[in-house]
Structure 1
Amino acid sequence: MDRKIAIFDIESVLLDAEFLPMLAERAGKGKEVHEITVQGLRGEIKWEEGLRRRIELLKNVSEEEARKVADSMPYMKGAKEVCEELKRRGYVLIGVTGGFTIFSERVKEELGLDYLFSNQLTFNEGKLHGVAPLTVRSDRVEGLEDLLVKLGAKKENVVAVVDGANDMKLFRYAGTRIAFNAQPIVKEVANVIVDGNDLREIMKYLVF
């Protein structure tokens, strides 16, 4: 039997939140970080540049505060049910985020994801310092292609669910390319468009 694989972006897909904007609100930098985030989602600036600028604005936020924000991020409506059903039907679940392990490891554990690709924040003396060398970039995910080869993935059996321009790299591996509450640039290259805040709406487009 051919292996079926679902690749999910995490922020604004599995989670109904974005970490850096939430942290920025706590730090009084919400407006500045929001503008950079929107520019990146629209594809107006390179994602890596946007990340660098946002982290620079948030340097010296306490690690304790960052963890509180990460732990408070809510799941997207239907995310748990979708993951449970896909696992029951034999899907391999892969989470990918340009965000950070500070929240993505919780998602992996609680939703039962099989694999996770995520970046990592660095802290120095209890304060946000920067980002470790990137695993997830705007144009590639280190190790993802090798994993898909190892799993024997066929493109027609892979679904990718994303929302932002920086996530479109995942579409190159997927036969079913779902734009979930996505920016217009993402919808242009998707073959399935789902608007609304219930992830269960994607199920009608999946192959079982």
Structure 2
Amino acid sequence: MNESKPAQIPVQLLVMDVDSTFINEEVIDLIAAHAGVGEQVADITERAMAGLIDFTGSLAERVALLSGLPESVLDEVRSQITLTEGAAELVAAVQDSGGQVALVSGGFTAIIAPVAAQLGITDVFANVLEVDDGILTGRTSGRIIDPSAKAEIFTDLVAAGGYAPEATVAVGDGANDVGMIRAAGLGIAFCAKPALVEAADASVTTRDLREVLDLIAARASA
């Protein structure tokens, strides 16, 4: 007897935030722990994600505290990363239906890209930590993935793929995700800060990304 194929889901583009959404951790907090400034950086991160302080300034402040760490710390941190429950299933469902999955993060490419590649995700937009002679300089290089950049990247992906706006989904947890959440056909706040919940079309309060599939299915059948 032939096994039935999984039901196709009506998503042409799924864009997810990474820290505390696609993965369970805040990467910069893990790196900071190696520099002995974990609590200080975690406090800044919490306020930035709640929208209480400017994201770009807070990122520069936090990254500066990482100056002097060996680049090898990034490998150690990558080994600490855990995918959020249901992440693999959500990604596979979209990809199996012919949809595109992208990650747009205020975190760091060196950590995120290898983790994403394990699930076949090649579209990763994140910040680049500057390294000089194997040592973190305390600066980033290139484009900063701040709230406006996240929204711009989302709309650029929609345009590049020729996707129907109503067939796009964005998922995030922090105030820096508001722009892309509002731009999506279905914007989902995932275990999110109040500022994002207010902007989203729907909210998930259980740390299981399969709940996002349920929301997509419910919207499709409405």
Q: C-alpha separation between the residues in 1 aligned to 2:147 and 2:29?
A: 18
- After superposition, the C-alpha distances for 1:138-161 in whole angstroms (9 at most, x for unaligned) are 212465433321211222111100
Percent identical pairs in the alignment equals 30
1:203 matches 2:213: yes
Aligned partner of 2:149 in structure 1 is 140
Cα distance, 1:74 vs structure 2: 0.8
Gaps of 5+ in 1: none
Q: C-alpha separation between the residues in 1 aligned to 2:80 and 2:195?
A: 29
**RMSD between aligned residues:** 1.7
Aligned partner of 2:166 in structure 1 is 156
Cα distance, 1:108 vs structure 2: 2.5
SS in 1 for 2:130: strand
TM score, norm. by length of structure 2: 0.87
Aligned partner of 1:60 in structure 2 is 68
Superposition pairs for residues 41-190 of structure 1, below 5 Å? Answer: 41-129=49-137, 130-141=139-150, 143-190=153-200
Q: C-alpha separation between the residues in 2 aligned to 1:66 and 1:115?
A: 20
SS in 2 for 1:117: strand
Q: C-alpha separation between the residues in 2 aligned to 1:21 and 1:143?
A: 25
Runs of 4+ that moved beyond 3 A: 141-144
Cα distance, 1:170 vs structure 2: 1.1
Aligned partner of 1:35 in structure 2 is 43
Q: C-alpha separation between the residues in 2 aligned to 1:3 and 1:52?
A: 35
Cα distance, 1:42 vs structure 2: 0.9
Task: Select the residue among 8, 11, 14 that pairs with 2:19.
Answer: 11
Aligned length: 207
Gaps of 5+ in 2: 1-9
Letter in 1 for 2:109: T
SS in 2 for 1:187: helix
Aligned partner of 1:194 in structure 2 is 204
Cα distance, 1:27 vs structure 2: 1.8
Contact 2:22 2:84 in 1 (8 A): yes
Contact 1:138 1:166 in 2 (8 A): yes
SS in 2 for 1:80: helix
Cα distance, 1:53 vs structure 2: 0.5
Contact 1:71 1:103 in 2 (8 A): no
Cα distance, 1:25 vs structure 2: 1.6
Q: C-alpha separation between the residues in 2 aligned to 1:119 and 1:155?
A: 26
Q: C-alpha separation between the residues in 2 aligned to 1:36 and 1:137?
A: 15
Letter in 2 for 1:153: Y
Cα distance, 1:61 vs structure 2: 1.0
- After superposition, the C-alpha distances for 1:12-70 in whole angstroms (9 at most, x for unaligned) are 11111111101112221011101110110111111001101101111111100122112
Contact 1:3 1:152 in 2 (8 A): no
Cα distance, 1:135 vs structure 2: 4.4
Larger Rg: 2
Q: Would the alpha carbon gap of residues 159 and 60 (structure 1) be closer, same or farther in structure 2, given more than 3 Å must change?
A: same
